[in-house]
Amino acid sequence: MATVFPYRWTKTKHLTERPPTHDHPPDAHHHPPPPWIILDVRAYIADRQNATTATIDLTSGRKLQITICAAPPPLVSYVCAWSPTADPAIVFAKEPVVACVNADLVFLRVHSDQVYHLVYHAGGRRPSLSLVRHPDHPFHRCHYLSELGSIAILPRRRAGAGAADDDEDSTGFYVCSLDQELWYGLPGQRGHFRLCLYDSIDGEWSQETLRLDQLRNPQDKDTVFHYTEKVITLHDEQVVAFVDLWRGMVICNVNDGTKHEGSSYVPLPQDIINLDMINNGLIYRDIAVVNGRLTVVRLRSWLDSGSLSWDLTTWSKKVTACLDEEEWREDFVVDSDDILVDEATCNNVELLPKLNDLPAMAKLRVAHPTLSLMDAHVVYIMGKVNLSDEKALVLTVDIANKRLREVSVYDAERIVNDFRYAYTRSTVSQYFTTAAAGVKGKPKIPLKFHVQYPHKRQTEHLTLRPPCHGGDQPLPWILLDVRAYIADRRNATAAAADLGNGHRIEITIFTAPPPQVSYICAWCPTGDPARVFANEPLVGCVNGDLFFLRLYSEVVYDLVYRAGGRPSLTLIRDPVDVDAASLQTDYLRSLDNIALLRRAGGGGGFYACSLDLDLHRVTPSTAAYKLCLYESTIHGDGKWSLESLLLPHLRQMIVYNTNRVITLDDDGQGVVAFIDLKRGIHICNVLAHGCPGSYLPLPPELTSSRMSFFDSSLCRDIAIVNGLLTIVRLRTCFDSDTDCWSWDLSTWSKPVAHLDDDEDWQKGFMVDSSDITVDATCCNVELLPKLEGRPAMAKLQVALPTLSLTDANVVYVMGKVDASDEKAVVLMVDMANKRLQMVSLYDAERIINDFDYSYTQSTISQYFTTAAGNLKRPLKFHMQYPHKRLGETISRSDNPIDLHEPLQLDTGSGMGTKDETEDSVIPMDLE
């Protein structure tokens, strides 16, 4: 029987083309627009127009159209983007994103043939769009506008213009951002920033250095750290607060000219400062100016006797006195158990899941607290029963009167990571003059949803459709997909484990020779997999016959698969008693930072460890880390330990981000390399207590080159190949004149046995894509897109270089014509002979962010002893390049090379059209 999953992880029937129906078409009764709105940060791609519509011609010659569909909270308003002059599937590489809002201004980032930054202006005679010009010479000390969370948009009035002058000639805007200062493309000293400013009237960019330790009221120099996640404008139009929601805010006048002298640091309330956290603060906190007071809200949640409980707390201080010594005032505290849920007074209360046949909040997981801009004791929070639900609820909570006022539905299908920053507040709706100027009317009645809690939307999940290639034959090594499929497939590699919650999990590996990508199938034979799996299991680290697997269910489970002998699956036990008190929630936090080691002497046990930055102890000259270690035995039990390490060798390279872990010995001695692919390698013996290890910088050509903050795994790789620690770098370049891509690959290596020596990295091979021979000897060459009638690589965007584990001359590269393609090709490049050896197909439907870390190397296939016959020949694909545009849908059959039927983009008509995958038993009719 087929299993249907209530969530979506990819761009199948692209949800961005299906915006909500509320507030479209525009209100025929001419009700006044709401004073403020909750605005979705992800735009929809649809041809919807109303009086808020504005258009602009991009530099590419294409026209872009932006429309805002506003609705009163707790409904979430949204932006619709469209191109009336070109195919939107070509114009939009992904959905446009709302970066920041302020008064009548909205800042948008649009991904097309290049990245465009646009400013929507609602004031004036009619709405307008303006293009933010790129700097003539890119800043060499920072990446301007690199982080959306650190961008501010401010009104700008031409000199001599009066307050009443609102025409396009007299008004403009400033765009500013507080970005980490860079040295040679890498983050510089901690606490050093560049404040970038764009003036739309002059069309000029400027930048200035800002150091946290030189501000008024600076942080302690030993704990200076700031990561901006939200920017708000204070009492003056030019005074901006760059807020780190875990620590404090940098407040400065961005048009002062002496920003570093007039800027100040204001810490958050002492009760909520957390030096251990770096980002994701918007999931648990919010900050806004409400009725003249700077207000902060914190949400905490916990599991209590099988029910989910949470509380909300707010603090505030006067905006005009926020730079003074005035302490934060605690305003309201409310516990979810004390909030009244009254069926008679709460609008849409029937949307809540039921507990003892009554609507209740106790079954909801909550996140994303959002302050009202009109009432400081009203907070909106997002709720889901299951983290993977495609529909979420937005709860209007009156924390002063401890009542639930209203519930609405939010389309959460496009939220990939369970809970995610989804919407922001905006007063842009105040400036819409379309609701019949001078016509008075009552506020719109709240929208009524005739539906029960909508967490069971019927969407077929691509994770249920694994490829058909692969078996259980032993191979020297494989490329292993880091995202498991959920399917009841078994072979001799299958292993099972009890989760301790009454369910049993099965893991099976299907191997295939590179460049084909091997994959894992996970299944639960004891329960409904749609309930057991909150999302697809993820592969962490791999080492020899071991790999680490993270499974998301009602809680997170970490497991270790072992292939040697009879395959086995072991559950890593959570810390208990004294271990839990010391480790808190820090153990094995990031999959990128976990290492697996086999125990020396056999016996079937293993070690799992992680190395995390200890922000409490970081100083300008010393990097402090917490080494977390789990020791397992053959009996399945284990123990935890936690140790602090200092690494003085980094000097100014304090910002160290581990994104790859490699075990440097095969005899269980515990020597592990924690690798930052932008900077260097921390080599540590995790079993030698008290040993700080050593630091090995990457080759100078890599540490001195310019690189953005994007994932370095997309352009670099590192592995041990024939006794050499080998690094490969991929560089790409686009030629707008020929509309083609060029790229090059370079390698460096160093003997593993001599990593501690002063010997330099040895330069290996370098090859340019234009020098690589592509001819009929290349297997599956017909998969390449054609240039002048012949297969060629020049039309491919490439990423994810991956070293062969048996031949340092061979590198595998992923390619797509369009970044949003749901099928990719994997190129097998022989750098020594400058030839393309083979091409294969990779199912990239589940990659959300264009290119993403997708597969890793593993030698686990060496340990499978149940080969079913001889090795398979390379798979032959009888098709051309499987390029698929954004507007198409996937309709997979058992044949992995089936082409796909197109999906019609929403043009604003037929808004009652129903998604064919929706549950027809519970219609979402709106009144």
* Statement: residue 265 has pLDDT above 90: no
Q: Is residue 716 part of a domain?
A: yes
Per-residue model confidence (pLDDT) at position 657: 76
Q: How many CB atoms lie within 10 A of CB 848?
A: 14
Is the residue at 314 inside a domain? no
pLDDT at residue number 31: 65
Q: For 265-271, what is the mean pLDDT?
A: 91
The amino acid occupying position 355 is L
Contacts of 122-125 with C-beta under 8 Å, sequence gap 24+, read 122/52, 122/68, 122/428, 122/431, 122/432, 123/166, 123/171, 123/431, 124/166, 124/167, 124/168, 124/171, 125/166, 125/167, 125/168
Please indicate, yes or no, if residue 838 is contained in any of the structural domains. Answer: yes
Q: Can you list the positions of beta strands (E) in 428-494?
A: 478-481, 485-486
What is the maximal distance between C-alpha atoms in the chain?
Answer: 85
Q: Is residue 517 part of a domain?
A: no
pLDDT in tens, 674-722: 998 888 898 888 888 777 778 888 998 887 544 444 467 789 999 999 9
Tens of pLDDT, residues 328-380: 999 999 999 999 999 889 999 999 998 888 888 988 989 999 999 999 899 99
Residue 880's pLDDT is what?
56
pLDDT, position 161:
52
Q: Are strands 485-486 and 517-523 parallel, antiparallel or unpaired?
A: parallel
More confident position, 656 or 239: 239
In percent, how much of the chain has pLDDT > 90? 41
Going by pLDDT thresholds of 50, 70 and 90, the confidence category of residue 444 is very low
Residue 769 lies in a domain: yes
850 φ/ψ sector (left φ>0, alpha ψ -120 to 50, else beta): left
- Tally Cβ neighbours within 10 Å of residue 79: 25
DSSP for 64-99, written as a single string? EEEEEE---TTSEEEEEEE-TTS-HHHH-SS--EEE
Which of 229-243, 431-445, 482-496, 847-861 has the weakest average pLDDT?
431-445
Find the range with the poorest average confidence among 92-96, 103-107, 790-794. 92-96
Q: What is the mean predicted confidence (pLDDT) over 409-416?
A: 79
* Helix (H), strand (E), coil (C) string for 365-376: EEEEEEECCCCC
pLDDT band at 916 (very low <50, low <70, confident <90, very high): very low
Question: Could you report the per-residue pLDDT of 515-570, keeping only the tens digit for each?
Answer: 999 999 999 999 888 778 878 899 999 999 999 999 988 788 999 999 977 899 99
Query: Quick one: tokens of 113?
Result: 């043939």
464 has pLDDT over 80: no
Residues 6+ apart with CB under 8 A from 740: 734, 787, 794, 795
Domain count, the chain: 1
Average pLDDT rounded to a whole number, residues 853-863: 92
Task: Render pLDDT for 869-910 as a digit per residue (tens, 0 to 9).
Answer: 334 444 555 455 554 433 332 222 333 223 222 222 233 333
Instruction: Say which residues have a Cβ less than 8 Å from residue 915's Cβ, sequence separation at least 6.
Output: 13, 18
* 145 falls within a domain: no
Structural domain boundaries enclosing 824? 712-851
- Whether 663 has a pLDDT exceeding 60, the answer reads yes
Q: How far apart are the first and last CA of the chain?
A: 37
25 preceded by cis ω (within 30°)?
yes
Look at residue 620 in the predicted model and tell me its pLDDT. Answer: 52
CA 713, CA 801: separation in Å to the nearest integer? Answer: 8
* 579 alpha-carbon distance from chain centroid: 31
With a cut of 90, say whether residue 94 has pLDDT above it. Answer: no
Mean confidence (pLDDT) of the chain: 79
Give the least confident one: 11-15, 56-60, 839-843. Answer: 11-15
CB atoms within 10 A of CB 666: 11
Whether 649 is in a domain gets the answer no
The closest alpha carbon to 475, from 803, 830, 826, 872, belongs to 872
Task: Report the distance separating Cα 299 and Cα 313, nearest Å.
Answer: 7
pLDDT at 338 (0 to 100):
95
Q: What is the pLDDT of residues 465-476, one digit of tens each?
A: 788 887 878 899
- Count of alpha carbons within 13 angstroms of residue 601, beta-carbon side: 2
- Render pLDDT for 580-619 as a digit per residue (tens, 0 to 9): 434 445 577 788 889 999 887 666 789 999 888 776 665 5
Q: Supply φ then ψ for residue 729, to 5 degrees.
A: -125, 135
Q: Is the peptide bond before 74 cis (omega within 30 degrees of 0)?
A: yes
Instruction: Give which of 668, 698, 700 is closest to 685, Cα–Cα.
Output: 668
